[in-house]
Structure 1
């Protein structure tokens, strides 16, 4: 997974039209913690990953389940052609919208 580094999280938040509390609470981060990140404190890698998923990829993490990840990992390891085909189809479908 590509991690978000050297980005202006404040700018992302502003473009989304969210206040700090709204933006950071979706990641499980307090407003004060988010404020520190926006002021230049290093963002831990797990928070960077969540930031990318939630605010850049627009994925609703409340809908993701552990078994979804298990299926993905199984497909990657044992059905790589099918996994690649499904991924390609999903991207094409997303572009249609």
Structure 2
């Protein structure tokens, strides 16, 4: 899914996750009643759509990410793209978690 792509059925995403409306929508800063309107077909603003994608589709815990983390990621992508890609590949393969576990 690309950034700001349409989320056609947030209700289906919520149901697949087994969450009630309050649990689902509060994680992205939307009231239950606002989320109910989106689930009923009201157009979601792009920022809300992107938050739903990040939190519920990509399963990113926004409480664990801060501005400095994002700056480091941007710096790494811009200045060392080969390292960034190799780290991302290793993470997908599970080898980054194994290495981090060995250091602990």
TM-score for the superposition, normalised by structure 1: 0.89
Counterpart in 2 of 1:87?
88
Note the 1:55-94 alignment, pairs <5 A. 55-93=56-94
Question: CA RMSD for the aligned pairs?
Answer: 1.7
Residues paired across the two proteins, number:
95
Give 1:7 shift: 2.3
Distance in 2 between residues matched to 1:36 and 1:79, nearest whole Å? 44
Counterpart in 1 of 2:23?
22
Give 1:53 shift: 1.1
| Secondary structure at the counterpart of residue 89 of structure 1 | helix
Distance in 1 between residues matched to 2:49 and 2:19, nearest whole Å? 18
Give 1:8 shift: 0.9
| Secondary structure at the counterpart of residue 68 of structure 1 | helix
Counterpart in 2 of 1:12?
13
Ranges of 4+ aligned residues in structure 1 off by more than 3 Å: none
Point out the structure with max Rg over C-alpha: 2
Give 1:6 shift: 4.2
Counterpart in 2 of 1:31?
32
